Amino acid sequence: MRQAYIKKENSKRSKQKQRGCTQPKMGKMDIDYQDLHGAFFKYQTKPNLTSHGDLYYEGKEFEVKLREMKPGMLSRKLKEALGMPDGAPPPWLKSMQLYGPPPSYPCLKILGLNAPVSPGDSFDDAPGEWGNPPIGEEEPLDRSKHWG
């Protein structure tokens, strides 16, 4: 629309331009109503809405949605960033074996802590090994084994 207005202004003679300065008129732009209709009704997209009761702040719509992520599951990018080869335990596993699972996720199954590891993996304190054998679901964490 602006280009059409500029083209129309450039085609005027100097006398017509001067007359426009002394007698200004509102609504000089020729509006293409088809373009406006397309912008508002055809190509308009709905914004991402927050759920009811959420506090909105600037930039909330650009945050990463973590619905597909689950606690305890490590993404490929995170494993690469930590330098973990495939099938290796996470670096914090031995601390979890010593202090227990995170208190915010008491029922979380963690390989090498309260869930069995894949066959062929061994338990030892060497680097790349899975530390102490996992404790069963119903047994409480026995810290005496780790402290003694």
pLDDT tens by residue, 46-73: 776 777 777 888 888 777 777 777 777 8
Q: What does the pLDDT read at residue 145?
A: 52
Q: From 115, 112, 137, select the one nearest 123 (Cα to Cα).
A: 112
Tokens of 56: 């909105």
- Please count the structural domains in the chain: 1
Average pLDDT, stretch 118-146? Answer: 65
Residue 9 lies in a domain: no
Residue 63 lies in a domain: no
Residue 125 lies in a domain: yes
pLDDT band, residue 26 (cuts 50/70/90): low
Q: What does the pLDDT read at residue 147?
A: 46
Residue-number span of the structural domain to which 116 is assigned: 84-134
Residue 36 lies in a domain: no
Residue 143 lies in a domain: no
Partnered with residue 111 across adjacent β-strands are 115
CA atoms lying within 13 Å on the CB side of residue 117: 18
Whether 78 shows a pLDDT value over 60: the answer reads: yes
Residue 107 lies in a domain: yes
pLDDT band, residue 140 (cuts 50/70/90): very low
Average pLDDT, stretch 98-106? Answer: 82
Whether 22 shows a pLDDT value over 50: the answer reads: yes
Residue 120 lies in a domain: yes
Whether 142 shows a pLDDT value over 70: the answer reads: no
Q: What does the pLDDT read at residue 2?
A: 76
Residue 70 lies in a domain: no
Q: What does the pLDDT read at residue 25?
A: 62
